[in-house]
């Protein structure tokens, strides 16, 4: 073992001691509701496939059709020969769906944030180092994108508009570009950003408002278009409620043109394959007409919240299809997950550094594939767990 590897091995030992060790688990997904692991079937409460579109026959069929017609891969980056004519069709649909002038398809949500932010924050282009105000609970990819740009964020307390305004006021005299970064739905808490107030604050202090819509696209807002129609730029993904893979930027024409010329994640990445583009295209056709599914998912989540709160569990500020059950200690989150697995239910323990210290939780994500019976079964196991914990 190389000397450097010994350092890594020590890190892993410490992670195990702290209950923070992670490992990849091999699973099989036979459908949108369940998964299989080591020969056992579980009801899946960890998936972000909110509308069950990953197994929708039209989504699968168009992915297969486009792979057959256009091949297995794009062959190059979009600025070489990978900009298949399919992209224009899809980007027009996204722009219309989101209500923006333009859209740009990217490889993934993480890659989009990690590469779009350095392009937006480029001090040589802007003429000065920008000030970036960021919600403390933003997704890691937004923090990583800022770090890649060499930016030290000015972080405001989660969803705390007065704190944000105080930071903006303090920096108001500085004649430099300013940005505000937030998510519309926070992926580990299931709560919503105060987007109207954020828009007002951005206008008051001349800031550019960027919103990550990963967990809102498809599942929230009129016709599933999300919640951030008042943002200056939106990042979203097709890998959650839209059922497949990839990401998009919704923005103005000038920002799109700028990103094509400046964003490393577009310039140097091989374009998405035709099969994925087919799945995206089909989902964009289906999602606007799925109000019934969206309402049903909301009802399932609300039923679960009410039931588990009555049992004494805390669900934070969740108002969406994402509902955390707070355990605080990582060991307790792991123990709850094991009890769920013993009863054929699959969820995941969310532990630091994904969430702040002492805020470990088990995260439940409800989908259109779940049934009322699934919720009853889940609540029954949590009731038994609470009884044994309090015995």
In this structure, are 238 and 300 located in the same domain?
Answer: no
* 240 belongs to the catalytic site: yes
Please report whether residue 10 resides in a domain.
no
* 44 belongs to the catalytic site: no
* 215 belongs to the catalytic site: yes
Q: Could you report the per-residue pLDDT of 251-292, keeping only the tens digit for each?
A: 999 999 999 999 999 999 999 999 999 999 999 999 999 999
In this structure, are 276 and 333 located in the same domain?
Answer: no
* pLDDT of 101: 98
- Residue among 135, 165, 191, 212 flagged as catalytic: 212
Task: Give the CATH number for residue 351.
Answer: 3.90.1150.10
| Separation of alpha carbons 212 and 117, rounded Å | 12
* 139 belongs to the catalytic site: yes
State yes or no: pLDDT of 391 exceeds 70: no
Can you tell me the mean pLDDT for 63-90? 97
pTM to 2 decimals?
Answer: 0.94
- Residue among 135, 183, 232, 281 flagged as catalytic: 183
- Residue among 56, 98, 225, 240 flagged as catalytic: 240
| Separation of alpha carbons 160 and 144, rounded Å | 22
Q: What percent of the chain has pLDDT over 90?
A: 96
Domain boundary among 240, 264, 288: 288
In this structure, are 223 and 254 located in the same domain?
Answer: yes
* 261 belongs to the catalytic site: no
State yes or no: pLDDT of 327 exceeds 90: yes
Assign 133 to helix, strand or coil: strand
- Residue among 50, 187, 207, 244 flagged as catalytic: 187
Residue 1's pLDDT band (cuts 50, 70, 90): confident
Q: Could you report the per-residue pLDDT of 237-260, keeping only the tens digit for each?
A: 999 999 999 999 999 999 999 999
Q: Is 305 left (phi over 0), alpha (psi -120 to 50) or beta?
A: alpha
Please report whether residue 11 resides in a domain.
no
Can you tell me the mean pLDDT for 59-84? 97
| Separation of alpha carbons 247 and 106, rounded Å | 5
Q: What size, in residues, is the chain?
A: 391
Task: Give the CATH number for residue 159.
Answer: 3.40.640.10
* 2 belongs to the catalytic site: no
* 307 belongs to the catalytic site: no
Q: Average pLDDT of the chain? A: 96
Lowest mean pLDDT among 54-58, 213-217, 326-330, 385-389: 385-389
Q: Could you report the per-residue pLDDT of 117-141, keeping only the tens digit for each?
A: 999 999 999 999 999 999 999 999 9
């Amino acid at each position: 073992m190389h000397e450097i590897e010994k350092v890594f091995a020590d890190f892993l030992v410490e992670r195990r001691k702290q209950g923070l060790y992670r490992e990849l688990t091999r699973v099989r997904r036979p459908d949108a509701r369940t998964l299989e692991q080591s020969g056992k079937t579980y009801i899946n409460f960890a998936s972000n496939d909110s509308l069950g579109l990953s197994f929708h026959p039209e989504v699968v069929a168009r992915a297969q059709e486009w792979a057959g017609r256009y091949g297995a891969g794009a062959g190059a980056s979009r600025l070489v020969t990978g900009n298949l004519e399919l992209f224009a069709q899809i980007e027009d649909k996204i722009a219309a769906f989101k209500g923006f002038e333009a859209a740009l398809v990217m490889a993934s949500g993480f890659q989009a944030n990690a590469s779009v932010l350095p392009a937006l924050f480029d001090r040589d282009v802007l003429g000065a180092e920008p000030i970036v105000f960021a919600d403390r609970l933003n997704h890691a990819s937004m923090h990583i994108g800022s770090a890649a740009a060499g930016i030290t964020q000015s972080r405001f307390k989660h969803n705390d508009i007065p704190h944000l305004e105080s930071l903006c006021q303090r920096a108001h005299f500085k004649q430099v570009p300013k940005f505000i970064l937030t998510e519309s739905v926070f992926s580990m808490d299931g709560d919503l950003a105060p987007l109207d107030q954020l828009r007002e604050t951005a206008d008051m202090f001349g800031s550019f408002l960027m919103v990550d819509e990963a967990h809102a696209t498809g599942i929230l807002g009129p016709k599933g278009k999300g919640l951030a129609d008042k943002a200056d730029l939106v990042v979203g993904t097709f890998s959650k409620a839209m059922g497949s893979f990839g990401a998009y930027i919704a923005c103005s024409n000038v920002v799109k043109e700028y990103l094509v010329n400046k964003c490393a994640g577009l310039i140097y990445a091989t374009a998405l394959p035709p099969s994925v583009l087919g799945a995206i295209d089909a989902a964009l056709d289906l999602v606007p007409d799925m109000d019934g599914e969206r309402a049903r998912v909301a009802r399932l989540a609300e039923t679960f919240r009410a039931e588990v709160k009555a049992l004494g569990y805390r669900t934070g500020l969740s108002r969406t299809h994402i509902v955390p059950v707070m355990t605080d200690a990582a060991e307790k989150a792991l123990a709850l997950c094991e009890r769920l697995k013993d009863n054929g239910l699959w969820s995941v323990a969310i532990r630091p550094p994904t969430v702040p210290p002492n805020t470990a939780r088990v995260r439940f994500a409800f989908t259109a594939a779940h049934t009322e019976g699934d919720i009853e079964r889940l609540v029954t196991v949590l009731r038994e767990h609470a009884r044994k914990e309090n015995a």
